[in-house]
Amino acid sequence: MELGERIRYFRRKCGYSMEALGEALGVSRQTVHRYESGVIENIPRAKILRMAELFGTTSAGLLGFEDPIFEMDGVMPLRRRRIPLLGEIACGTPIYADEQVESYAVEDDGVHADFCLRARGDSMTGARIFDGDLVFVRACSTVENGEIGVVVIEDEATLKRVYYYPEKEKLVLLPENAAYEPLVYLGAELEGIKIIGKAVAFQGRL
């Protein structure tokens, strides 16, 4: 993938129009179009650094020298190490999650991730988690309200923001896409539900 194609990919993934990106870079829409079409090949380093900052990646990731690693709120970028990939996780309606382990090299700079899952679906796009992304997970049985959790519902796994109200015996799993309704569980319905981890980072694919 050429630099212009990567710029277009990141721009769309992060929700920027050409006009908005141009405004953030201090250039015109036409210049952004020339970047993406390859008409301008020697993009100034300052613009590369600024785009990497806007896209939540590194200049090396934008230039294609390394896999793009995205940060989640309050999470440091990862340093190189291997994390087991345990199948898929639904970003939409809960789906069965296979536990076929394969190794995946990531960066780890102080963030502890015990395993990763590949996201399927589009219910978490508001959190910049897209279909096919890798989600890195720290194993735990509880999360704070508002954190993104890996939740198993009767052997089916889903990725959602978690809100638990014990006094009401109520669990709300909130998607990050207005096209999806929250999943709400009450009383006895909670018996078949467990949290197995918290999402701590994710990695997009070019």
- 123 is known as an active-site residue: yes
Q: Which of 114, 162, 112 is nearest to 142 (CA)?
A: 162
Both tokens of 96, joined, read 């069965």
Which amino acid is it at 42? N
Q: How far apart are CA 11 and CA 31, in angstroms?
A: 14
82 secondary structure, DSSP code: E
**How many residues are given for the chain?**
206
- 168 is known as an active-site residue: no
List the catalytic residue out of 13, 59, 123, 194: 123
- Beta-bridge partners for 15: none
List the catalytic residue out of 28, 37, 47, 160: 160
Which amino acid is it at 14? C
- Which residues carry out catalysis? 123, 160
